[in-house]
Amino acid sequence: MMVTKTDTQTFVYATYIRTTPEKLWQALTNGEFSEKYWMGFRVEVEQRAGGRIYFRPPKGQDAVFFKEEGGKVLVCETNRKLVYEFAICKDTPEVAAKREGPSRVTYELTPMGDMVRLRLIHENLLPEDTAQDPNTMKGINNGWPAILSSLKSLLETGQAIPLTRPGKN
């Protein structure tokens, strides 16, 4: 019997935000702040390696699609780097059978003068994690740029970009 590993993909995205590493870190790890730019999701982080990260859906949104237990924090270097298991959505049984462990998200914060480069790396993705339709918030390739654009806008102007939640578009 031959066992073959499923080919995985990596999504990388960088944006430059006129803010400080401290303010950006707070935005990435504070549940109350995340609700403003992350389509109403409350992202709660136990800020230590081995801690948990939870993505709590907006009040009134069907939680059947979302996992309750959250992912594990793998690396936590305050104001510099956060790596965690991305365990937000429940897979269909077909996709779950292909997945060899959870996908991983890395945020790298690099100060650059009066701004910070936020580099996002999302690893161990399956083809099913991306969407072909660019006019939706579905898929890693559409969701991350929208969320990070909203985060950038909120930090720079005080106003997030209103985004449509998954399943609502």
Looking at residue 108, its pLDDT comes to 98
Please state at what angle helix 140-157 crosses helix 21-29, rounded to 10 degrees: 130
What is 9-157's CATH superfamily?
A: START domain (3.30.530.20)
Residue 94 vs residues 21, 31, 91, 99: alpha-carbon distances, Å: 40, 32, 8, 9
Looking at residue 161, its pLDDT comes to 92
Looking at residue 87, its pLDDT comes to 74
Tell me the whole-structure pTM to 2 decimals: 0.88
Residue 143 vs residues 45, 47, 76, 77, 165: alpha-carbon distances, Å: 20, 24, 23, 25, 10
Question: What CA–CA distance (Å, rounded) separates 72 from 52?
Answer: 5
Looking at residue 37, its pLDDT comes to 95
Looking at residue 134, its pLDDT comes to 86
Looking at residue 6, its pLDDT comes to 65
User: Could you state, in chain order, the average pLDDT of each consecutive group of 10 residues for the chain (169 residues)?
Assistant: 67 98 97 92 94 86 65 96 85 78 94 98 90 85 94 97 62
Looking at residue 41, its pLDDT comes to 87
Looking at residue 169, its pLDDT comes to 40
